[in-house]
Amino acid sequence: MFALKIDRLIIGTLRARITVGIRKRDNSTKQLRLSYCHHAMPFPMVYKTLSQNFDVIADQYSDDECLVFKGEQKRYTYKTFKEEVDNIAASLLDLGFKKYDRLAVWLPNTSENVTISYAASKLGLIKVNINPAYVERELQYCINKVGCKGILLSSSIKSLNTFEILRRLAPELNEGVSSTSELSAKAVPTLKHVILTGEKTFVPNVYSYEDLLRRGAQLSHKNLIERQASIDPDTPVEIFYTSGTTGQPKAATLTNFGIYNLILSQRKLFGQSFTRLCIPIPMFHIFSEMAGVLNAAVAPCHLTFPAVLPDTIATMRAIHEEKCTALIGAPIIFRDILTHPDRKKYDLSSLIFGLSGASSMHVDFLRQLEKEIPITRMAQAYGMTETAGIITCSMWAGDNDVQRRLSSIGQPMPGLELKLVDQQGNIVPIGTSGEIWTRGHSVMCGYYGDAEKTQETITHSRWLKTGDVGRMDEDGYVYFVGRQKEIIIRGGVNIYPVEIENTIAEYPHVLDAQVFSIPSERYDEDVCAWIRLKPDAPKCGVEDIRNFLKDRLAFFKIPTYMRIVDRFIMTPTGKAQKFKMSEIMTKELEKNKEKH
Mean local confidence (pLDDT), 108-134: 97
Nearest to 128 by CA among 110, 153, 162: 153
- Residue 155 C-alpha from the chain's centroid: 23
Tell me if 159 sits within 8 A of 555, measured CB to CB.
no
Q: How confident is the model at residue 575 (pLDDT cuts 50, 70, 90)?
A: confident
Q: Looking at residue 594, what is its pLDDT?
A: 79
In single-letter form, the type of residue at position 423 comes to: Q
Q: Looking at residue 201, what is its pLDDT?
A: 74
Nearest to 489 by CA among 395, 398, 361: 361
Which of 4-13, 183-192, 571-580 shows the lowest mean pLDDT across its residues? 4-13
Distances (CA, A) of 367 to 26, 252, 342, 371, 415: 25, 35, 21, 6, 30
End-to-end CA distance of the chain: 55
* pLDDT of 484 above 90: no
Looking at domain 32-46+257-483, does it have CATH number 1.10.3720.10?
A: no
* pLDDT of 8 above 80: no
Q: 555-564 pLDDT, tens per residue? A: 999 999 999 9
* pLDDT of 192 above 90: yes
Q: 328-381 pLDDT, tens per residue? A: 998 889 989 998 999 999 999 999 999 998 777 788 889 999 999 999 999 999
Nearest to 110 by CA among 85, 162, 55, 73: 73
Mean local confidence (pLDDT), 182-187: 94
Q: How confident is the model at residue 596 (pLDDT cuts 50, 70, 90)?
A: low
Write down the mean pLDDT value for the chain. Answer: 90
Which of 148-152, 203-207, 583-587 shows the lowest mean pLDDT across its residues? 203-207
Residues in the chain: 596
Q: Looking at residue 140, what is its pLDDT?
A: 97
Q: How confident is the model at residue 158 (pLDDT cuts 50, 70, 90)?
A: confident
Which of 87-101, 340-354, 453-467, 480-494 shows the lowest mean pLDDT across its residues? 480-494
* Distance, CA of 67 to CA of 296 (rounded, Å): 8
Nearest to 203 by CA among 170, 232, 229: 170
Dump strand ranges (E) for 162-243: 193-196, 206-208, 236-242
* pLDDT of 122 above 70: yes
Pick the residue with more confidence: 551 or 13?
Answer: 551
Q: Looking at residue 176, what is its pLDDT?
A: 63
Q: Looking at residue 533, what is its pLDDT?
A: 93
β 150-153/193-196 pair status: parallel
* Distance, CA of 544 to CA of 531 (rounded, Å): 12
Give the distance between the most distant pair of CA atoms in the chain.
Answer: 73
Mean local confidence (pLDDT), 36-52: 92
* pLDDT of 235 above 60: yes
Q: Give 529's contacts (C-beta < 8 A, 6+ positions apart).
A: 500, 501, 504, 513, 514, 515, 516, 559, 561, 562, 563
* Distance, CA of 217 to CA of 412 (rounded, Å): 43
Same fold, 32-46+257-483 and 488-595: no
* pLDDT of 588 above 70: yes
Q: Looking at residue 370, what is its pLDDT?
A: 96
Mean local confidence (pLDDT), 86-100: 98
Q: 404-458 pLDDT, tens per residue? A: 999 999 999 999 999 999 989 999 999 998 999 999 999 999 999 999 999 999 9
* pLDDT of 577 above 80: yes
Nearest to 496 by CA among 177, 132, 243: 243
Element containing residue 53 per DSSP (H, E): helix 50-60
Mean local confidence (pLDDT), 457-470: 94
pTM to 2 decimal places: 0.85
Provide the 10 A C-beta neighbour count for residue 234: 12
Q: Domain ranges in the chain?
A: 32-46+257-483, 51-63+78-231, 488-595
Pick the residue with more confidence: 199 or 573?
Answer: 199
Give the CATH fold of the 488-595 domain. GMP Synthetase; Chain A, domain 3 (3.30.300)
Tell me if 147 sits within 8 A of 190, measured CB to CB.
yes
Nearest to 207 by CA among 228, 222, 193: 193
Q: With pLDDT > 70 as the criterion, what percentage of the chain qualifies?
A: 93
Mean local confidence (pLDDT), 159-176: 90
Which of 85-94, 107-116, 275-284, 475-484 shows the lowest mean pLDDT across its residues? 475-484
* Distance, CA of 418 to CA of 428 (rounded, Å): 12
Give 5: exposed, middle or buried? Use CB within 10 Å, 0-12, 13-18, 19+: exposed
Q: How confident is the model at residue 18 (pLDDT cuts 50, 70, 90)?
A: very low
The CATH number of 51-63+78-231, from 3.40.50.980, 3.40.30.10, 3.40.109.10, 3.50.50.60, is: 3.40.50.980
Q: 273-289 pLDDT, tens per residue? A: 899 999 999 999 999 99
Q: Looking at residue 28, what is its pLDDT?
A: 39
Mean local confidence (pLDDT), 455-463: 96
Which of 118-132, 193-207, 364-378, 579-593 shows the lowest mean pLDDT across its residues? 193-207
Q: Looking at residue 497, what is its pLDDT?
A: 87
